[in-house]
Amino acid sequence: MLSLRFWLCLSTFACSSLLSAAPLELHVSPMGNDTQNGSFEAPFATPSAAVKAIEKLKAESNLPAEGVTVTLQEGSYELEAPLEIKDYTTGEHQTILFQGAPGKTVRLLGSRLIPEFRQVTDPDQLKRLDRSAHGNVMVANLKELSLDDLGTVAQAGNRLELFYRHIPMQLARWPNEGFVKIKQVVGDTTFKSHGIPGTKEGWFIYDDDRTDSWANTTDVWLHGYWFWDWSDSFEKVESIDPDSNTIRLSEPYHNYGYRNEQRYYALNILSELDQPGEWYLDRETHQLYFWPMGEIEPGDVMISVLPSLINIENSKHIQFRNLTFEGTRSTLVNIRNSYDCTVDHCRLLNSGSWGVQIRDGKSCEVRHCEIMNLGEGGITLLGGDRQTLSPAKHLAFSNHIHHFGRLYRTYRPGVSVQGVGNHVIHNLIHDGPHNAIQLGGNDHLIEFNEVHHVCYETGDVGAFYMGRDWTARGTVIRHNFFHNISGPGLHGAMSVYLDDAASGIKIQSNLFLRAGRAAFIGGGRDNLVENNIFVDCNPSVHVDSRGIGWMHETVDTTLPERLNAMPYQESPWKERYPQLLTILEDEPGKPKYNFIRKNISVGGHWSHIDDKAELLVTLENNLIDEDPLFQGNPQSDSVTAKDFELKANSPAFNLGFEPIPVDEIGLVK
């Protein structure tokens, strides 16, 4: 409870700031006290006290014209609840800035320290552990933390996790690495999808002896790719029958069903806690078991507790700078229906869900941040009005986004872009199992990004992905560097994947190296593939005619429904996308009006264009398997974008090729 003396001191402090026409400066320190006035000499102890102080100034209309700067001194701050910043519709220059002290590490934590572990010595507990774990596994009693909510095993947004020295640890699983495969599905309801047989029910025969030992274990979960290599899910085990080697999963079953030879692993099994870095929580007894990767020092082990750290809503001019956000069950920072709010030069890590989600509003930015170890995706940019094609102008700029999709593996990209007129520029995105950038909507700009080592666990997947909507047009993908893109699943990986009739997209002046099926047009129209360099891709360009083949029903139903949901016959749609006015009368299933021109392709395979698409695609002035005279060697192990620069006498220039600004690709200061 903040004292009367505090409020009197704060009022005096605020009045002096108003007279000086400078931002009000508030300070927070681990050595502070929330009953103080928040000055440098008498700082608050918690960020929430600073927020309450600003709330009071706002309520009394005493916010300084130049805003408020809250400086947090070095240290870690365990938040009791998310910071709620709502309805701050301030003046143009009334910025509210939360910043870490310059040159210092300031952590905002949604997790709780585990104060004490002891070695497992109880005979009953030891019986439940693998023999290899005896003498290595420690146990803590979470009742000492008075936590009412221990979270869930698998539910996104409420999954409790354990961190050791700021690294996420693995919930006890089998096998310790990789997957095992379904031997045979035995569900009653059979079906075929794209000619592949499966069953609706999650009943199947396993082919190992280890599973037998879990027959009397409760709360066992499986995580797998049950039918398609682009759709994973967590499924709870209902029963295990060692006599028939059969697993039955609990309802509801996976959306796409189950089939033979698909991948899964088991988790949340105490007897499988058999290597350093694994842990298990007994939710009945509140006992937390952990095999640490080294000695446990004070402050080493934390568990996630809060859903989020920052929730901004209906506000303007809120900034966060030089802070570390860490250890939540759901998204670290949420920005909703706000204007000119920025997360700048921050680190965001160890979320069970997303790093930053921007929804609705305008002109919000995530800049110069490192975003890593995320259970789901990195950044969401959602905003703009599709009915009027009004842009949101949200921006992800020069962020290093890596090791995302850590828990939930598919359609949790480094950056998700939806709506109208949002920008993804100068980011470095790598180490994700599925998409790097996933997009829907209109008129977005994707440029100067470097993307590598994504799609590595999935199939039929794109590093950049969008699809199944004729109206999602106007996006430009240019000056990006895609390299080392591959996937083990069915149909492999693409770099730019225009799936299921995605149309009206420009793929211009990009670099593709060992990038799978690099530029992939899946039955769409009005697309441009121009001025790109492809090295060792298989193929560089793909175009198919699925809209008059296996996907013809979608062309007759889903795509027209999505077309009619937009006012495509009215302004500004009819001027911006005149091709939509006649699409239903112009053989809509055919991949018409695709242009592939002025590209360079070296090594690998140039194109795969199916017979029905070949007569409809325009290919012109492409330099195929001829030395383009690179300045460097793009096929070397230590390649950079600079290696793709062309010499002045390159034969590509005679075909109209324009130089690509390779020096500008990737992160900038």
- Give the tens place of pLDDT for each residue, 257-314: 999 999 999 999 999 999 999 999 999 999 999 999 999 999 999 999 999 999 999 9
Domain assignment present for 3: yes
Same domain membership, residue 136 and residue 282 = yes
Domain assignment present for 99: no
Domain assignment present for 83: no
Structural domain boundaries, residue 2: 1-73
Look at residue 148 in the predicted model and tell me its pLDDT: 85
What six digits make up the tokens of 170?
């693995």
Domain assignment present for 504: yes
Same domain membership, residue 549 and residue 663 = yes
Look at residue 21 in the predicted model and tell me its pLDDT: 65
Look at residue 36 in the predicted model and tell me its pLDDT: 97
What six digits make up the tokens of 462?
């794109």
CATH code: domain of residue 328: 2.160.20.10
Same domain membership, residue 399 and residue 517 = no
- Tokens 């699943």, residue located: 489
Q: How many distinct helices (H) and strands (E) make up the chain?
A: 7, 58
**Can you tell me the distance from the alpha carbon of 111 to that of 329, in angstroms, rounded to the nearest whole number?**
9
Look at residue 13 in the predicted model and tell me its pLDDT: 52
Same domain membership, residue 58 and residue 27 = yes
Look at residue 22 in the predicted model and tell me its pLDDT: 85
Same domain membership, residue 65 and residue 148 = no
Q: Which of 252, 267, 282 is the last residue of a domain?
A: 267
Domain assignment present for 88: no
Weakly modelled stretches of the chain, pLDDT under 50:
1-9, 12, 15-19
Same domain membership, residue 535 and residue 410 = no
Question: Following DSSP, what letter does each residue of 65-109 receive, concatenated?
Answer: TT-EEEEEPSEEEE-SS-EEEE-----TT--EEEEEPTT--EEEE
Same domain membership, residue 147 and residue 287 = yes
Same domain membership, residue 197 and residue 294 = no
H/E element holding 351?
Answer: strand 347-351
Within 8 A by CB and 6+ apart from 57, the residues are: 10, 14, 24, 63, 68
Within 8 A by CB and 6+ apart from 346, the residues are: 320, 321, 322, 323, 324, 325, 369, 370
* Domain total in the chain: 5
Same domain membership, residue 473 and residue 421 = no
The angle formed by the CA atoms of residues 503, 504 and 508, to the nearest 5 degrees, is 115
Look at residue 122 in the predicted model and tell me its pLDDT: 92
Domain assignment present for 118: yes
Same domain membership, residue 416 and residue 524 = no
Look at residue 551 in the predicted model and tell me its pLDDT: 98
Same domain membership, residue 187 and residue 116 = no
Domain assignment present for 85: no
Same domain membership, residue 663 and residue 514 = yes
Domain assignment present for 550: yes
